[in-house]
Amino acid sequence: MALDEIKIGGMGASRRRVEDNRFIRGKGNYVDDIVLPDMLHMEILRSPVAHARIKSIDVSKAWDTPGVRLVLTGEMMAARNLAWMPTLSYDTQAVLATDKVRFQGQEVCAVIADDPYIAKDACSKIVVDYEILPAIVNPLQAADPASVLIRDDKENQPGNKVFDWEIGDKAGTDKAFAAADKISKIELHYPRTHPSPLECCGSIADYDRATGKLTVYMTSQAPHIVRAAVALVAELPEHQIRIVSPDIGGGFGNKVPIYPGYVISILASILTEKPVKWIEDKTGNLISTGFGRDVYLKGELALRKDGRILGVRMNTISDHGAFFSDAQPSKFKIGLMHSAFACYDIPVAHMMSTGYYTNKAPGGVAYRCSFRVTEAMFFQERMVQAAADDLGMDQAEFRRINFVKDDEFPHRTAFGFLTDSGQYGKCLEIGLEAIGYKNFAKEKAEAASRGRLLGIGISTMTEPLGAGNSREYDILGIKMFDSAELRVHMSGKALLRTGAKSQGQGHETTWAQIVAHELGIPAEDIVVEEGDTDTAPFGMGTYASRSTPVAGAAVAMVARKIRAKARKIAAHLLEVSEEDIEWELGRFYVRSNQDRGVTIQECAMAAYSNMPDGMEPGLENNAYYDPPNLTWPFACYIAKVEIDPETGVWDVLQFVAVDDCGVRINPMIVEGQIMGGLTEAYAMANMQYITYDEEGNCIGANYMDFLLPTAWETPGFELYEVVTPCPHHPIGAKGVGECATVGGPAAFVNAVMDALKDKGVRNIDMPLMPNRVYEALTTGKDIYGMPPVRVGN
């Protein structure tokens, strides 16, 4: 009899998480928990100013501090050719400043001491003489030819522009706009924000002079990329570098790039011949590491009277800070921004994107996002709502009319992506029903009689998750595939390793479920390991919701290889030919006699003790998986909000989420991902952003200025499910980790804008803080969020 898949913790089981057993006991192993013998501690001195020439650095008093072992400056790094390092976007980034500082928080010196307190003390004794330069804090200033040149360290860098990038059909789009009945325009700013995992970045570099081996324990979502980069930057042989990502306290894209702190700790360990620990503080994390967003849009839709979208025009300007260090596939300078409008059937589209340097922190990481998809979907859904309003059309109906229909897949989008599956209309109808869309007019009138403004906001989108395929997606030339290695021991228990790296997603639980599904080995008999480059197969790591689409597929594929070999062993054990063997979960049997069979465990034992003549012993294998396409989950998020016009405060009365992420491996974990993502969406819509004053001071440098929602503010979310399997994924799954963060913000903002529709307000840039809403309400004017921030804002 085949096994009960749910009982063995296979696909579809809401299996309780394996990793929880250590986390709930306080026995996680995060980088700051690791203590090595004779370990030293490193502290980084950061620039207090946004833009300045360094006239001199006096480190003598730091050196004189008892307990200090090493003080590093940019000059000392330069002497070892390490003052600058390459970024993941083919730019360079200062490790320790030599000539200038280019953003507030930039790394200037590092002190290595016996104790972290001593290192901090010594940092405060370093005297740096800065000649202050004007700071550029938004891309409009950066574009002004009269502005100061930020990257004068680079040859052939005449201005502050990072790139121009273009995609789509310009002539065709112009034609569509010329033929339009109506053109709907909107300008938006997706403000700078920060992924801000609770755990900051950190590393312990441990160089062993005797063996020549460098081991680095660090907070990396992509340890193999780090190994490759360290080999390049530090010129160490790759086989002598071991990167270990232990438990990670949240990543959200922030822990993909390679930061100066990691590199400095490595050099410090080489120089001191002792392990060197660097643990960033929260301010360091917020002001210097990979931020998200900071993109401006001019968006236009060409519309026909009946509601059809005839063409899309998007012009984006993005602010990349002082160094172009976006972590993204190298072909796409503004990530996958051109995934916008993928769920709508649009004949033609054109996008122009320009990026600028500013005197702000570098980054532009994919913050819980598949490379700028968050901006793309926010812009898309704000443009859609504005267009529906401009046409005087119901916002749900406008979406219905323009959706790609269920029978139109595969569908080539106007920007060239190939979407392959979905039931967009069905998801929308479930959402509308759940929110009570039909009765909304009545509800709104009733609220108005109480002096309250009610609004409903819809956000529907399909997004590309799971890069590669390797034809189009690479980072620093390394193709974006992923991997899994499976060893089935003779007792039928197994060890699985992948090239991904969980930061809370629960891989130790779900990967085992995929193996259980493919082989019938109970999930509890499978241990999952990730994050150690000496043991894990090469993989590109976990971000951009790519683990299930790519590494998860590799897990299924390696399990199938194991099953293929086990089938040969089964034929041998049952003394029949392989063609006469059938498989049911956990067991092979003889087709003509179902009672005659062997379990996968019996095959495993035989692989080590009774294999057929000529067969290689053992039962292990690996798989490298290069996906044929991205996966395309769909989501419909609907928010109902109530505004108090006296204060500008808005409350979420109800929030409905309908997610179609294909087949769900562990529904409990999927729902956890969606709720977490929606909370970050709510945060960005409501409070969570980073801005700068005109001198380039970062406002949002700690959790008192950079606001995160607590359990008190965070609304409840109602979750619904539609399942359209991914046609090309081995188990039909699609990515899901980021859908809610990507699609969620527009639902909140659209809801508030819907409530303000009659007040002459068309847009308030995020975050929709009460003072902004109140100001818009009382003046009837849009609120534009470009820094420098106004005092009190």
Partner 1 sequence: MSSLYEEISAPPAGDVPVRRVTIDVNGQARTVDVEPRLLLAHLIRQGLKLTGTHTGCDTTSCGACTVLFDGRPIKSCTMFAVQADGHKVETVESLASASELHPIQEGFKEKHGLQCGFCTPGMMMAAKALLERNLNPTEDEVRWAISGNLCRCTGYQNIVKAILWAAEKMRAESN
Active site residues per annotation = 221, 368-369, 738
Phi first, then psi: give them for residue 24, nearest 5 degrees.
-70, -15
| Binding status of residue 282 toward partner 1 by CB under 8 A | yes
Token pair of 572, please?
Answer: 């041998």
How far is Cα 635 from Cα 656, in angstroms, rounded to an integer?
Answer: 10
Is residue 117 near partner 1 by the rule CB under 8 A?
Answer: yes
Tell me how far, at minimum, the Cβ of 585 lies from partner 1, in Å. 26
End-to-end CA distance of the chain: 67
DSSP single-letter state for residue 766: S
- Using the minimum distance from each CB to partner 1, give the nearer residue, 7 or 757: 7
703 in contact with partner 1 (CB under 8 A): yes
Q: Which is nearer to partner 1, 41 or 452 (CB)?
A: 41
Considering only 9, 10, 191, 197, the residue that binds partner 1 (CB under 8 A) is 197
Quote the tokens at residue 65: 């501090």
- Taking CB under 8 A as the criterion, which residues in 710-739 touch partner 1? 710-712, 714, 716-717
List Cβ neighbours of 608 (8 Å cut-off, separation of 6 or more): 490, 617, 618, 619
Using rule CB under 8 A, residue 170 touches partner 1 = no
Which one of residues 127, 198, 445, 615 is an interface residue with partner 1 (CB under 8 A)? 198
Question: Which residue stretch of 277-285, 329-337, 472-480, 629-637 sits at the interface with partner 1 (rule: CB under 8 A)?
Answer: 277-285
Residues facing residue 297 across a β-bridge: 188, 316
Q: How far is the CB of 145 from partner 1 (least distance, A)?
A: 41
* Residue 317, beta-bridge partner list: 296, 354
How far apart, in whole angstroms, are the C-alpha atoms of residue 358 and residue 515?
Answer: 48
Q: In angstroms, rounded to a whole number, what is the distance separating the alpha carbons of residues 340 and 414?
A: 9
Interaction between residue 672 and partner 1 (CB under 8 A): yes
**Min CB(415)–partner 1 separation in Å:** 32
Establish if 505 lies at the interface with partner 1 (CB under 8 A): yes
d(CA 545, CA 562): 27
Q: Return d(Cα 268, Cα 286) in angstroms, integer.
A: 24
CB of 185 to partner 1, least distance (A): 35
Question: Binding to partner 1 by residue 12, rule CB under 8 A?
Answer: no
Task: Indicate whether 17 belongs to the interface with partner 1 (CB under 8 A).
Answer: yes
**Least separation, in Å, of the C-beta of 450 and partner 1?**
22
Q: Using the rule CB under 8 A, is 62 a contact of partner 1?
A: no
Residue 522's alpha-carbon distances to 209, 602, 789, in angstroms, are 44, 14, 56
CA-to-CA dists, residue 299 to 167, 337, 354, angstroms: 15, 13, 14
Q: CA angle at residue 771 from 752 to 683, to 5 degrees?
A: 60
Judged by DSSP in three states, 518 sits in helix
> 395-402 and 424-435 helices cross at what angle (nearest 10)?
170
Contacts with partner 1 by CB under 8 A: the residue count is 57
CB atoms within 10 A of CB 130: 18
CA angle 777, 782, 786 (to 5 degrees): 125
Cβ closest to partner 1, residue 147 vs residue 714: 714
Interface with partner 1 includes 21 (CB under 8 A)? yes
Q: Which residues contact 26 (CB under 8 A, 6 or more apart)?
A: none
- Told to check if 30 binds partner 1 by CB under 8 A, we report yes
Asked if 506 interacts with partner 1 (CB under 8 A), we say: yes
Residue reference for tokens 């929602």: 709
Residue window 629-668: x/- pattern of binding to partner 1, with contact defined by CB under 8 A? ---------------------------------------x
392 near partner 1, rule: CB under 8 A = no
CA distances in angstroms from 293 to 88, 369, 469, listed in the order given = 17, 10, 24
Binding flag, residue 247, partner 1 (CB under 8 A): yes
CB of 339 to partner 1, least distance (A): 25
* The only residue of 3, 8, 32, 640 in contact with partner 1, by rule CB under 8 A: 32
Q: How far is the CB of 250 from partner 1 (least distance, A)?
A: 4
- Is residue 249 at the binding interface for partner 1, with CB under 8 A as the rule? yes
- Angle, alpha carbons 522-528-534 (nearest 5°): 150
The answer to whether the peptide bond before residue 86 is cis (omega within 30 degrees of 0) is no
Smallest separation (angstroms) from partner 1 to the CB of 317: 29
Could you say which of 87, 141, 462, 503 contacts partner 1 (CB under 8 A)?
A: 503
Closest CB to partner 1 among residues 30, 63: 30
If the CB atoms of residues 252 and 323 are measured against partner 1, the closer one turns out to be 252
Taking CB under 8 A as the criterion, the residue among 78, 476, 495, 708 binding partner 1 is: 708
Is residue 732 within 8 Å of 726, Cβ to Cβ?
yes
Which CB, 146 or 704, lies closer to partner 1? Answer: 704
Tell me if 37 contacts partner 1 by CB under 8 A.
no
Smallest distance from partner 1 to CB 714, Å:
5
All residues at 6 or more sequence positions from 793 whose CB lies less than 8 Å from its CB, including other chains: 769, 771, 772
Residue 230: which of 268, 273, 267, 199 has the closest Cα? 267
Instruction: Give the whole-angstrom CA distance, residue 700 versus residue 704.
Output: 8
Select the residue interacting with partner 1 from 680, 738, 754, 765 (CB under 8 A). Answer: 680
Question: Min. distance of Cβ 748 from partner 1 in angstroms?
Answer: 14
Q: Which of 250, 347, 436, 618 binds partner 1 (CB under 8 A)?
A: 250
Q: Residue numbers of the site for partner 1 (CB under 8 A)?
A: 16-17, 19-28, 30, 32-33, 35, 66-67, 117, 196-200, 247-252, 281-283, 503-506, 668-669, 671-672, 675-680, 702-704, 708, 710-712, 714, 716-717
